[in-house]
């Protein structure tokens, strides 16, 4: 199997990378590693979680251990001049800020493990005890103090051999002494290595602006305007000191504490205690005031450091035991049965949103019938959720049974088409399938697209609808009204803001005029025209649903074949109608039946108005009725003869452009007299409207 092309590899989300990982070649893996390096080091906006990145790197090591990218992990090398460390300290911090600085001694990465067996295999090569400390999720930094004890250089780890000068922004950090206490200064130059990070208690004030403490930390230390650096909110975790001759790790931390550093979170452990220390960090992780992504172990005796030495990538005397992903508990709100375009019906857990590994999780696949039945989910239970590899949300089990322990049932008919279902065995389990998948999949897409178009829920074009179906978010039109921004934000090319805009569009259409509602159902022969006829004759949706074939045939213009199709169609769609009525309000009576014929010789005779976006001061149907009462027309689309395009208030303020706005601008460019106006301008023109 060939790799996806480079542009696809550059744009794949974490879930897609996770799925493709077993089949990628070394070349494809190299592309992903370079992409991840740029995102993490150069832009401080990683899209691939650390555990997934580690798996990509480890797989590449197996396929091509000599791949060049494996020895070049870190930020893209600077094209500018490089300063040797001794050269840099001769310049004032303000003159060298941001310059590339070559470390006097490389800052290597750490080897990694993910289970007790690998940890103990590494530990077996080491004599003596071990220092154990949290693996902080921050920015690695080197601090250099001169022989007099003054801080003269602070630089990021960077590529390991060279970093970026950040002295100017490190000096204000309270945890970083500007000078070492004189009585403890060793009289030699020393280098302190550690992690710059932001405590969660400090990050709380910025949480609405930034996604992750590490991103804010990186941006703060590299901020050229000191007033915007937020250095006062940063902390420093020292984990090593180079220079003074100290016998072991405990002596190092004692020295760091004595010269003014804040030392916390480390302990000395015997070999038999190593796994227990890891498990304790896992338990205590949620209560820590900082984010960690693993636990670091290092030989305690410095003589062991010298004996074991280093590779070009990592020291042999230290290792990072990485977490596999976040775990948390949340409420199960329900189980949805998602129908794919191939006919597979997959159970999906609808969750009270929970943040795991820096992402909000609102849904999790339950995979197949075997897994669904094995979990024993009950209504309103509490479940344990994880992100395996920091990527795919998983329901690990029931943490607390729901009241009454009412189980969820497996559907007996397809949620999308109402047809029969089948249980089929595959190599990886038993699945539920629609018995007529080809017809069902095509009909599902058409039904969803038709509903969104008729109700005028903008933004849900064929591509978005298809993605939402594949992601298990849409199975019936009712699901539009159950969408949440946290669910949509995971779709390709949809960020949080775009996802929220789509949800806002749905919410703006929770009141639907009766003829529009009837047309949106997709019943044969029940379009807008016949919908109006039925509305005028029966008045309410309930009366229309109760009407017989003879009742319909009594209406002028409705013949026997049309009556049969409408009665049968409404009966077939009864479950959909009932479900929709739990989410929307159908406007009935005169308010739902504006006269399409404009008033002759009205004030707006000869003028036409089209509305787009969300009106905030009146409903769209009320605005259209006002136009028609003044003699104007309300067409359904943009044309060269359109007089005004009225843009909803919120949409105009956001600056976003709907397809109607773009078409209108194109007509204006061609010389049309069409004008694009705001909702307020429209209301001023018509003298206001009465709701």
pLDDT in tens, 410-455: 999 888 778 898 888 765 578 888 887 766 776 678 788 889 888 8
From residue 616, give the alpha-carbon distance in Å to each of 334, 353, 680, 681, 683: 33, 28, 10, 13, 11
From residue 334, give the alpha-carbon distance in Å to each of 363, 403, 407, 443, 548: 10, 14, 11, 25, 37
Tell the CATH superfamily of the 609-686 domain.
BRCT domain (3.40.50.10190)
> What pLDDT sits at residue 94?
87
What is the DSSP code string of 569-600? HHHHTHHHHHHHHTT-EEE-GGGG---SSPPT
Two tokens, residue 162: 């060279």
Q: Is residue 331 within a helix (H) or strand (E), and if so which, with residue range?
A: strand 327-339
Asked if pLDDT for residue 51 goes beyond 80, the answer is: no
- Averaged pLDDT for residues 448-472: 86
Q: Tell me if domain 327-435 and domain 609-686 are identical in fold.
A: no
Model confidence at 670, pLDDT cuts 50, 70, 90, reads: confident
Contacts of 8 (CB under 8 A, 6+ apart): none
> What pLDDT sits at residue 453?
87
pLDDT in tens, 494-506: 777 888 888 888 9
pLDDT in tens, 672-687: 888 999 888 888 888 7
Two tokens, residue 7: 């542009």
Model confidence at 80, pLDDT cuts 50, 70, 90, reads: low
> What pLDDT sits at residue 299?
97
Strand partners, 82: 100
Average pLDDT for the chain = 84
Q: Determine the topology of domain 6-71 in CATH.
A: Helix Hairpins (1.10.287)
Contacts of 325 (CB under 8 A, 6+ apart): 49, 51, 356, 357, 386, 387, 388, 389, 390, 391
DSSP state of 150: B
253 class by beta-carbon count within 10 Å (0-12 exposed, 13-18 middle, 19+ buried) = buried
Query: E strands along 435-530, which residues?
Result: 511-513
C-alpha 160: how far from chain center: 30
C-alpha 109: how far from chain center: 28
Asked if pLDDT for residue 341 goes beyond 60, the answer is: no
- Averaged pLDDT for residues 282-297: 85
- Averaged pLDDT for residues 73-99: 77
> What pLDDT sits at residue 178?
92
Asked if pLDDT for residue 73 goes beyond 70, the answer is: no
The better pLDDT of the pair 428, 31 is held by 31
Model confidence at 558, pLDDT cuts 50, 70, 90, reads: confident
- Averaged pLDDT for residues 378-404: 78
Sequence spans of domains, the chain = 6-71, 82-322, 327-435, 511-592, 609-686
HSE, side-chain direction, 13 A CA sphere, residue 248: 13
Query: E strands along 259-326, which residues?
Result: 267-269, 292-299, 318-322
Two tokens, residue 169: 């922004």
Alpha-carbon gap, residue 32 to 6, rounded angstroms: 9
Alpha-carbon gap, residue 473 to 51, rounded angstroms: 26
Least confident of 335-339, 357-361, 569-573: 357-361
> What pLDDT sits at residue 190?
92
> What pLDDT sits at residue 201?
86
CB atoms within 10 A of CB 386: 21
Two tokens, residue 574: 């009864």
Location of structure tokens 């035991």: 321
Structural contact between residues 611 and 646, judged by C-beta atoms closer than 8 angstroms: yes
Alpha helices in 285-340 (DSSP H): 302-308
> What pLDDT sits at residue 238?
96
CATH of region 327-435: 2.40.50.140
- Averaged pLDDT for residues 456-477: 85
pTM: 0.51
> What pLDDT sits at residue 543?
92
Selected from 1.10.150.20, 3.40.190.10, 1.10.540.10, 2.170.270.10, the CATH number assigned to the domain covering 511-592 reads: 1.10.150.20
Structural contact between residues 361 and 347, judged by C-beta atoms closer than 8 angstroms: no
Two tokens, residue 544: 């229309």
Selected from 3.90.330.10, 3.40.640.10, 3.30.470.30, 3.30.70.890, the CATH number assigned to the domain covering 82-322 reads: 3.30.470.30
Alpha-carbon gap, residue 653 to 420, rounded angstroms: 48
pLDDT in tens, 122-156: 999 999 999 999 998 889 999 999 988 899 999 99
Alpha-carbon gap, residue 194 to 172, rounded angstroms: 16
Task: Find the catalytic residue in 82, 125, 135, 536.
Answer: 135
> What pLDDT sits at residue 124?
95
> What pLDDT sits at residue 342?
62
Coil, strand or helix at 493: coil
Alpha-carbon gap, residue 423 to 558, rounded angstroms: 43
> What pLDDT sits at residue 630?
79
Structural contact between residues 530 and 566, judged by C-beta atoms closer than 8 angstroms: yes
Q: Do you know the residue count of the chain? A: 691
- Averaged pLDDT for residues 304-326: 87
> What pLDDT sits at residue 391?
53
Percentage of residues of the chain with pLDDT beyond 70: 88
Structural contact between residues 82 and 100, judged by C-beta atoms closer than 8 angstroms: yes
pLDDT in tens, 208-244: 566 578 878 888 888 877 667 777 889 999 999 998 8
Strand partners, 83: 101
The better pLDDT of the pair 609, 14 is held by 609
Alpha-carbon gap, residue 162 to 145, rounded angstroms: 18
Alpha-carbon gap, residue 255 to 468, rounded angstroms: 57
From residue 635, give the alpha-carbon distance in Å to each of 61, 534, 639, 643: 62, 22, 9, 10
> What pLDDT sits at residue 652?
61
Known catalytic membership, residue 112: no
Strand partners, 179: 150
């Amino acid at each position: 199997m060939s790799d996806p092309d480079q542009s696809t590899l550059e744009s794949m989300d974490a879930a897609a990378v996770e799925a493709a990982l077993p089949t990628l070649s070394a070349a494809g893996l190299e592309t992903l590693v370079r992409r991840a390096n740029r995102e993490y080091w150069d832009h401080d906006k990683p899209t691939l979680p650390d555990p997934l990145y580690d798996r990509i790197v480890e797989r590449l090591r197996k396929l091509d251990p000599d791949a060049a990218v494996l020895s070049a992990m870190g930020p893209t090398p600077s094209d500018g001049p490089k300063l040797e460390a001794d050269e840099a300290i001769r310049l004032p911090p303000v003159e060298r800020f941001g310059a590339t600085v070559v470390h006097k001694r490389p800052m290597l990465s750490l080897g990694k493990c993910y289970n007790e067996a690998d940890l103990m295999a590494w530990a077996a090569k080491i004599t003596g005890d071990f220092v154990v400390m949290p693996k902080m999720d921050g920015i690695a930094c080197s601090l250099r103090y001169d022989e007099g004890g003054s801080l003269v250089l602070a630089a990021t780890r960077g590529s390991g051999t060279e970093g970026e000068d950040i002295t100017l922004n490190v000096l204000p950090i309270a945890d970083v002494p500007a000078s070492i206490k004189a009585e403890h200064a060793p009289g030699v130059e020393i280098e302190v290595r550690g992690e710059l990070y932001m405590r969660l208690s400090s990050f709380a004030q910025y949480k609405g602006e930034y996604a992750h403490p590490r991103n804010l930390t990186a941006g703060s230390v590299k901020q050229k305007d000191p007033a915007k650096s937020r250095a006062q909110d940063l902390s420093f975790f020292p984990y090593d000191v180079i220079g003074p001759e100290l016998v072991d790790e405990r002596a190092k931390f004692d020295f760091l504490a004595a010269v003014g550093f804040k030392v916390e979170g480390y302990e000395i452990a015997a070999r038999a205690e190593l796994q227990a220390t890891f498990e304790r960090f896992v338990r205590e992780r949620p209560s820590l005031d900082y984010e960690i992504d693993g636990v670091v172990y290092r030989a305690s005796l410095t003589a062991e450091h010298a004996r074991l030495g280093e590779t070009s990538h990592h020291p042999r005397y230290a290792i990072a035991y990485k977490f596999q992903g976040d775990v948390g508990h949340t409420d199960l709100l329900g189980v949805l049965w998602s129908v794919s375009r191939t006919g597979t019906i997959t159970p999906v857990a609808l969750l009270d949103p929970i943040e795991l590994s820096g992402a909000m999780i609102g849904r999790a696949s339950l995979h197949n019938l075997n897994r669904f039945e094995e979990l024993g989910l009950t209504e309103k239970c509490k479940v344990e959720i994880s992100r395996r590899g920091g990527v795919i949300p998983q329901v690990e089990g029931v943490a607390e049974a729901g009241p009454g322990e009412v189980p969820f049932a497996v559907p007996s008919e397809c949620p999308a088409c109402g047809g029969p279902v089948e249980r089929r065995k595959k190599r990886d389990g038993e699945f539920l399938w629609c018995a007529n998948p080809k017809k069902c999949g095509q009909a599902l897409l058409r039904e969803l697209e038709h509903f969104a178009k008729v109700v005028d829920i903008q933004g849900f074009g064929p591509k978005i609808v298809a993605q939402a179906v594949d992601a298990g978010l849409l199975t019936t039109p009712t699901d539009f009204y159950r969408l949440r921004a946290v669910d949509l934000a995971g779709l390709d090319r949809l960020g949080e803001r775009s996802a929220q805009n789509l949800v806002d569009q749905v919410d703006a259409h929770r009141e639907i005029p009766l003829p529009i509602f009837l047309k949106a159902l997709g019943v044969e022969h029940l379009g807008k025209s016949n919908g109006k006829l039925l509305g005028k004759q029966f008045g309410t949706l309930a009366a229309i649903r109760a009407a017989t074939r003879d009742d319909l045939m009594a209406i002028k213009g409705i013949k026997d074949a049309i009556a049969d199709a409408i009665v049968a169609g409404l009966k077939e769609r009864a479950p959909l109608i009932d479900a929709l009525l739990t989410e929307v309000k159908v406007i009935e009576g005169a308010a739902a039946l504006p006269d399409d014929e404009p008033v002759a010789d009205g004030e707006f005779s000869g003028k036409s108005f089209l509305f787009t976006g969300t009106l905030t001061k009146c409903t769209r149907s009320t605005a259209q009725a006002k136009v028609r009462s003044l003699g104007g027309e309300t067409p359904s689309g943009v044309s060269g003869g359109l007089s005004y395009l009225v843009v909803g208030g919120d949409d105009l303020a956001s600056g976003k452009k709907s397809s109607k706005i773009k078409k209108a601008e194109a007509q204006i460019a061609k010389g049309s007299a069409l004008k694009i106006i705001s909702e307020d301008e429209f209301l001023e023109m018509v003298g206001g409207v009465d709701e």
